[in-house]
Chains A and B, each alone.
Chain A
Amino acid sequence: MKTISEARGTLVTTLADDWGSDIATLKGVPWGKVMMWVFLVSDTFIFTCFLVGYMSVRMSTIEPWPNPSEVFALHAFGVSVPLLLIAIMTFILISSSGTMAMAVNMGYQRRKKAATNLILVTALLGAMFVGMQAFEWSKLILDEGVRPWTNPFGAPQFGAVFFMVTGFHGLHVSAGVIYLLTIAFRIRRGKYDESDFEIVEISGLYWHFVDLVWVFIFALFYLW
């Protein structure tokens, strides 16, 4: 049975050592982090299946697919700026990822107040994202007449895919906001004082995943 120091070798020997060792395969990785990563892999499959459904429907339909640049354009200063709102939303989500990464760093430095505040900022940015998505939805539903079963721009599945995919993503972001708020308050209450504050990293993983999914949605749905 090797000690951990002995087990650390070259990259490939570490792989074989890890998988061949007793007690834990992923040395030094807290249980919560393993669980979060495995959950994120599973969630990746969910979003990929949604996007495969989107791809399938879009590729097989005879009717022309609406142009997202036009559908999601905003009128600003008298000019129609394509995908303006989406660009702002992307900016906000990336910003929130950045604040989250810094929160994780603060957490490991045991700077509770800084970590809590950064988490709260992240949650706030996330809430803003959801708010904008809700605005987007209401604009499409009320102003443009887009419905899950039909829309004036082209193939009827456009609305269905849009609401389904952004809906699930929005649900994940909302759940993430609640999760982050919970973590922030628990840190402040001192619940994690005995630990290394790995909980911040674990919740950070979830938040970055939400951003990651948005990267794919942005590219494949809005830009394609």
Chain B
Amino acid sequence: MTEIEVPYQETIGVRHPRSWITRYWFSQDHKVIAVQYGVTAIAVGLVALVLSGLMRIQIGFPGLLPFITPDVYYQAVTMHGMIMVIFLLTAFLLGAFGNFCVPLMLGARDMVFPFVNMLSYHVYLLSVVVLMASYFVPGGPTGAGWTLYPPQAILPGTPGVDWGIVTMLLSLIIFVVAFTMGGLNYITTILQARTRGMTLMRMPLTVWGIMMATVLGLLAFPALFVSGVMMLLDKLVGTSFFMPAIVSFGQPLEHSGGSPLLFQHLFWFFGHPEVYIVALPAFGVVSELISVHSRKNIFGYRMMVWALVAIGALSFVVWAHHMYVAGMHPYFGFFFATTTLIIAVPTAIKVYNWVLTLWKANIKLTVPMLFALAFILTFVVGGLSGLFLGNVIIDVPLSDTYFVVAHFHMVMGVAPILVIFGGIYHWYPKLTGRMLNNTLGQLHFWVTFLGTYAIYYPMHYLGFIGVPRRYYANGMESDFYPESAATLNEFITIAALVVGLMQFVFVYNLIASYFRGKAAGSNPWEATTLEWQTPNTPPSHGNWGDTLPTVHRWAYDYSVPDEDQDFIPQNVEHT
């Protein structure tokens, strides 16, 4: 007996929500949840942006704002880092883009367990609230740096040692719960709920990037969870997982026998995959943007997929390149430097493929495309500085200097944020039915792109001459700090403030275009992927009406020879 497989989602009905609460607040519609994630992430990201402004003012113009004491500064450093990495980048790329794009691109009605999806958002919101509560507890937020290294993170001398570190760790633990719930949904949906004809190798690269990132998250966040629990126990209960025999402010403490390096290993076992959790969806979205806006199929789709898989797998064996100078086993550097250089290979392959996609393509310099191009430029710069840092010997003088700050901001702070912007400009018309204002978009792009270059390019030089990172006092007090560094810092600060202000223009654009934006139609970019082929725009609950689409081709049939149009949607049959 032969059975033709039917997508399960076609057989189950769609229960439409009735009240305002079930439609918007406790929505189980993936598109609404995506917006919830996006709005929350942007809101908390703006907080982190303001914190970075405060930091830069202190670095560039020390003493200008007297309320920025060392404590305030280090709290800003920590909160800025943690919010940006976890609560903005991870939450937006996976929570917002993941939730919005995945079911639509796969031809599904929704995620497989919409209730769990809804829960994941609310638990994420709770984690944000707990984190922000740091500002209202005695002592304020922790100032341990986003890496939260013990023993100092839980010893006096660090801001927030009483309560701030506890709220921080609790919020991370809650975030891991939220992420796990969301992640399980994504994996199950991608594996099991595709539509007819949608094989894994016909999925858009956005979905591949999100899928790999989700896998990484499900496997890496446990290490963060465990190190967070152990540090909480060290702080609250007095255990000695990470605390060696130590003297603090003249008093020997009760702890003994623990190892701070254990924390570092566990943290970076999470921390390195984390940066790929941010990068891989960005890679996926960039492939989409470049392909659509240059009217050309992505070069080497198969290799792009395998590169994503290889990067994901390798990302678990490179972690201690963050620990070359930490005092770990002296031979570990050999191993980790080797794996770190190896992981550069699939990453480079992806860059070559993006460039080859652009070669002789019909490039349309729309705002999403500009952001995608800027991604390639900034990611390559950041990646190159990573090659320096990945080599043990060169890392010794560069570690903990501004060179590292420049590197990770370029690869994590600039490049993926540019992709987030590009993705928002790209998918906003599908979400709302309106285009974002083009003039404001161009302004936003040029100021952000050139501005972030102005911020981070000189920072490499600062690192070379040895200016250390995470220092409150950058200036006249230190002997080794030359005049030129102070001038450069002033320049960087001004650039940073300008770029920061421009982001509020972007937020204004987001809100204003919702009401006054140009009507977009269902497929303004003439793209092939399924999300642009929905019967309604914005897509209604259930996405596809009565029948799920059937996929007949891959996601990149652009500029196919001898065809009338320069694109063929995925659900168009072969003639």
Contacts and interface: CB of A to CB of B under 8 A. Distances in A.
**Chain A directly contacts chain B within the complex, with at least one CB pair under 8 Å:** yes
Interface of A: 1, 3-6, 19-27, 29, 31, 34-35, 38-39, 41-43, 45-46, 48-50, 52-53, 56-57, 60-63, 148-150, 155-157, 159-160, 164, 168
Contact of B257 (A21, A57, A148, A164): A57
Contact of A41 (B191, B194, B219, B229): B219
A149 B226 CA distance: 18
The 5 closest A-B pairs by CB, nearest first: A160-B239, A45-B222, A49-B226, A149-B238, A46-B222
Given A31-B192, A148-B239, 14 more contacts: A1-B196, A20-B201, A22-B194, A24-B192, A26-B192, A29-B192, A31-B193, A38-B187, A42-B184, A49-B226, A49-B266, A56-B265, A57-B259, A60-B257
B241 to A, nearest CB: 6
A157 B198 contact: no
Interface of B: 1-8, 112-113, 180, 183-185, 187-188, 191-202, 218-223, 225-227, 229-230, 233, 237-241, 254-259, 262, 265-266, 269, 551
Contacts of A50: 226
Given A49-B223, A60-B259, A24 B196 contact: no
A35 B237 contact: no
Nearest to B219: A45
Contacts of B269: 49
Nearest to A168: B229
Nearest to B237: A148
Contact of B239 (A4, A19, A43, A157): A157
B113 A31 contact: yes
B211 to A, nearest CB: 11
A78 to B, nearest CB: 36
A165 B33 CA distance: 35
B369 to A, nearest CB: 31
Contacts of B219: 41-42, 45
Contact of A149 (B5, B185, B254): B254
A25 B222 contact: no
B233 A148 contact: yes
Nearest to A150: B254
A56 B242 CA distance: 10
Given A23-B196, A24-B192, A49-B223, A61 B233 contact: no
A5 B191 CA distance: 20
Contact of B241 (A26, A42, A57): A57
B238 A148 contact: yes
B5 A41 contact: no
B222 A4 contact: no
A62 B257 CA distance: 7
Nearest to B111: A31
A35 B116 CA distance: 11
A18 B480 CA distance: 62
Contacts of B237: 148-149, 160
Contacts of A61: 257
A53 B226 contact: yes
A119 to B, nearest CB: 22
26 contacts: A1-B196, A3-B2, A3-B3, A3-B4, A3-B5, A5-B2, A22-B198, A24-B5, A24-B191, A31-B8, A31-B188, A35-B184, A35-B185, A41-B218, A42-B219, A43-B222, A46-B225, A49-B226, A49-B266, A57-B258, A57-B259, A148-B237, A149-B239, A149-B255, A156-B257, A168-B229
B97 to A, nearest CB: 20
A60 B237 CA distance: 21
Contacts of B241: 53, 57, 157, 160
Contacts of A1: 196-197
Interface-central residue, B200, B220, B227, B257, by most chain A CB under 10 Å: B257
A216 B219 CA distance: 19
Contacts of B193: 24, 31
A51 to B, nearest CB: 10
Nearest to A164: B233
Given A42-B219, A148-B233, A35 B256 contact: no
A23 to B, nearest CB: 5
A46 B226 contact: yes
A38 B184 CA distance: 7
B3 A22 contact: no
Nearest to B3: A4
A34 B188 contact: yes
A19 B238 contact: no
Contacts of A5: 1-3
A150 B199 CA distance: 57
B258 A157 contact: yes
A53 B262 contact: yes
B262 A22 contact: no
Contacts of A155: 257
A156 B255 CA distance: 9
A156 B180 CA distance: 33
A62 B240 CA distance: 13
Contacts of A6: 2
B148 to A, nearest CB: 16
Interface-central residue, A22, A41, A50, A159, by most chain B CB under 10 Å: A22
A1 to B, nearest CB: 7
Contacts of A150: 254
A170 B132 CA distance: 31
Contact of A56 (B218, B220, B259): B259
B2 A34 contact: no
A159 B187 CA distance: 38
